[in-house]
Amino acid sequence: MTDLQKKKRIIELETLIQRYQFSYYNGEAEITDAEFDLLWDELKRLAPESLVLAQIGADGVDDIDGFPKVAHLIPMGSQDKAADPDAFRAWTQKIQAPVYVVQFKLDGASLELQYEKGALVRAVTRGDGVIGDEITRNALRMSGVLPAINADFSGGVRGEALMPRAVWKDKYANKANCRNAANGIMRRKDGAGCEDLVFLAYDASATGNDGFFKNEIEKITWLMARGFTVSETKEFTDVEAIIAYRAIIADTRQNLDVDIDGLVVKDRATNMDDLRRVRPERQIAFKFELEIAYTALRAVEWSEAGATYTPVGIIDPVRLAGTTVKRASLNNPGMIRSMNLKIGSVVSVVKRGEIIPKIESVAPTDALPDVDLPEESDIVFPVSCSVCGAALVDEDSRLYCPNPACPKLLLHRLEKWVKILDIREIGEKLIKQLFTADRVTQIHDLYTLTPEELAAFDRMGTLSANKVVKYIHAAREIPLAKFIAGFDFEGVGETIMEKIVDFGFNTLEKLRAADADALAIVEGIGEVTAKTIVQGMRQAAREMDAVLGAGVIAIAEPPDESKLPLKGISFCFTGELITMKRSQAEEKVKALGGSPKTSVVKGLSYLVANDTGSGSTKNKKARDLGVPVIDETRFLELIGKAVQSVSGVAASTHPPAQGELF
């Protein structure tokens, strides 16, 4: 990046950050937190001294400290852990409690709410267990934190601040998991995002009155009566029943709203002296199975998708996070080399959350003392394409067939095109049939299909054949990013192309003229991706021209800021639409500068629902938040008016604010 480019980019970033910050505080976030963080990080890198960073302060940064330090009423000791039933049985032998109380072990951020005469005076994070950060203002934004409780109570209420999974998926997926997201948000100085957290209580203690609660069940009942939501709690007398209960919960926990990582088992009788211990003895964390395991690598298979050959490790079956794992991903040849992985190596395999298990590292052989390991041998890499026979190219980060005419590549490209344009009624089977019959080998061939010849394929009826052709011709003007992504350059999806287009490579001509160095300037585009795009643009040039030349598909003009009448207006859809698919409606909104949302959030402009009276969650939430609910007819009217305003009928000189347009 030249100095001039750098300066330009800094100004651009500062402008964007200020604008998004403003819209965020006005209840109409235009971009996700993840996207905001990207801009923030880039500016921090390019211009750490920027005043914009200082002005805005803590938002987007999780580690700003400076909260007052406050001692816990009762230290938050650390829990003993049992990782398996045997360790758990041993603990119950020692404790010999007549009744056990079993609660979900919530996987969030611990919080102590301190009350004086029924009023919340402080909320304190776990900190070092003795002293934590006072984050009362943030806590009050969380749902489930009660500013006052109906009782003359002075003492502490313990619980966990959690981010529901749905919220994490929707808004914070850039954080590794719900817990990290909750921890970060809870400690933001401006408290932004705390309303996305929920507080679940599981313990309480009254200051100066150790006998206030006789037992753990009384506590939970009392907390519920005050209005707290509490962690799921059950009583057991049979130790084996607890073990069985843990197995059931472990298998079904994916359906819970929040993450849990085990059970907490306590003696039913409350013992305050024990609770004050650094490591209380009369309770234990009975954790779920491990998410990392050691096993032996027996073979490596090469999975083929498009041009790429990806190594997959075949391992001795191993139990991991409740499932049996036999295959684990290896990403690319470079990973094999950097680990010096061999057939016969002992490997650690991890499976966290819902991701595919992956081989993380090579472990010493004594990690598996009882396994008869095969003699170590080198992993064999394929050297030629299984379909066209071309010599494969090994770039370390990727092993692939370089032949642009490789049938495997062409078929994959067709599938990608159909998928990205969301062409209905064409399944993989039909594409393959057309491809094998040599009728459709390139994208532009799709546009020459007639209903008559299609009807002959797969004994498809005339009606279906007509439909297929209709859907093929449905998409006409498509955004440049989508068009390029449809050509299936390795690892280049729509999101990456959108970044490039947004940066300014917003016409086919500009993209064709760009070299790899120019593209690599775009934030988030690596050298490899830039090269792939340049090479792909060259190789696919004729095919692109042919597709555009067929007269069906055109690339949409780059959006002109003044022609975005829906800018700042957001829509969420629920239920079926009659005149179009939801994805099409969302495209229309986007094309007019509006933002489609997947969930009903504060500040949403409209919820579109044909059944406006239905009791669906989205409808209910919209009513709660005062978001207007409109039906499809009204939506089409709005869109129609927006289109008119673009074409000058009701042109305005500035982008309309919410409500102004309609």
Where in the sequence numbering do the catalytic residues fall?
A: 105
The closest of 99, 81, 87 to 280, measured between CA atoms, is 81
**Would you say 270 or 308 has its CB closer to Zn ion?**
308
**Would you say 328 or 406 has its CB closer to Zn ion?**
406
**Would you say 174 or 539 has its CB closer to Zn ion?**
539
In angstroms, what is the minimal distance from the CB of 385 to Zn ion?
Answer: 3
Contacting Zn ion within 503-562 (CB under 5 A): none
- Please give the sequence-ordered ranges of beta strands (E in DSSP) within 117-171, or none if there are none: 119-125, 131-133, 155-162
Q: Give the span between the Cα atoms of 17 and 273, in whole angstroms.
A: 52
Q: Which amino acid, residue 130?
A: V
Contacting Zn ion within 384-423 (CB under 5 A): 385, 387-388, 390, 401, 403, 406
Q: Give the span between the Cα atoms of 44 and 41, in whole angstroms.
A: 5
Q: Give the span between the Cα atoms of 650 and 189, in whole angstroms.
A: 44
In angstroms, what is the minimal distance from the CB of 516 to Zn ion?
Answer: 24
**Would you say 305 or 388 has its CB closer to Zn ion?**
388
How crowded is residue 510: how many other Cβ atoms within 10 Å of its Cβ? 15
Contacting Zn ion within 356-385 (CB under 5 A): 385
In angstroms, what is the minimal distance from the CB of 331 to Zn ion?
Answer: 21
How crowded is residue 66: how many other Cβ atoms within 10 Å of its Cβ? 8
In angstroms, what is the minimal distance from the CB of 38 to Zn ion?
Answer: 36
**Taking a C-beta distance cutoff of 8 angstroms, is the pair 89, 155 a contact?**
no
**Would you say 108 or 306 has its CB closer to Zn ion?**
306
**Would you say 57 or 389 has its CB closer to Zn ion?**
389
Q: How many residues bind Zn ion (CB under 5 A)?
A: 7
**Taking a C-beta distance cutoff of 8 angstroms, is the pair 141, 300 a contact?**
no
- What does residue 179 show for φ and ψ, rounded to 5 degrees? -65, -50
**Would you say 230 or 406 has its CB closer to Zn ion?**
406
In angstroms, what is the minimal distance from the CB of 408 to Zn ion?
Answer: 5
Compute CA distances 179 → 110, 188, 357, 479, whole Å.
Answer: 10, 15, 20, 37
Q: Which amino acid, residue 135?
A: I
Q: Which residues of 158-169 are buried (b: 16+ CB within 10 A; e: fewer)?
A: bbbbbbbbebbe
Q: Give the span between the Cα atoms of 183 and 426, in whole angstroms.
A: 45
**Would you say 392 or 639 has its CB closer to Zn ion?**
392
In angstroms, what is the minimal distance from the CB of 539 to Zn ion?
Answer: 14
Q: Give the span between the Cα atoms of 112 and 158, in whole angstroms.
A: 5
**Would you say 176 or 405 has its CB closer to Zn ion?**
405
Answer yes or no whether residue 325 interacts with Zn ion by CB under 5 A: no
Backbone conformation region of residue 494, classed left if phi is above 0, alpha if psi is from -120 to 50, else beta: alpha
- Burial (Cβ within 10 Å: 0-12, 13-18, ≥19) of residue 73: buried
**Would you say 406 or 469 has its CB closer to Zn ion?**
406
Residues 6+ apart with CB under 8 A from 480: 497, 501, 506, 507, 508, 511, 555, 556, 558
Compute CA distances 592 → 298, 555, 562, whole Å.
Answer: 54, 15, 10
Which uninterrupted H or E stretch holds 118?
Answer: none
Q: At what angle do helices 239-252 and 85-95 cross, to 10 degrees?
A: 140
Q: Which residues face 109 on adjacent strands?
A: 161
- What does residue 496 show for φ and ψ, rounded to 5 degrees? -60, -45
Q: Give the span between the Cα atoms of 182 and 110, in whole angstroms.
A: 10
In angstroms, what is the minimal distance from the CB of 62 to Zn ion?
Answer: 46
In angstroms, what is the minimal distance from the CB of 307 to Zn ion?
Answer: 7
- Which DSSP string corresponds to 486-500? TT--TT--HHHHHHH
In angstroms, what is the minimal distance from the CB of 311 to Zn ion?
Answer: 18
- Which DSSP string corresponds to 563-599? G-TTTT-EEEEES--SSS-HHHHHHHHHHTT-EEESS
In angstroms, what is the minimal distance from the CB of 483 to Zn ion?
Answer: 25
In angstroms, what is the minimal distance from the CB of 388 to Zn ion?
Answer: 3
Contacting residues toward Zn ion, per CB under 5 A: 385, 387-388, 390, 401, 403, 406
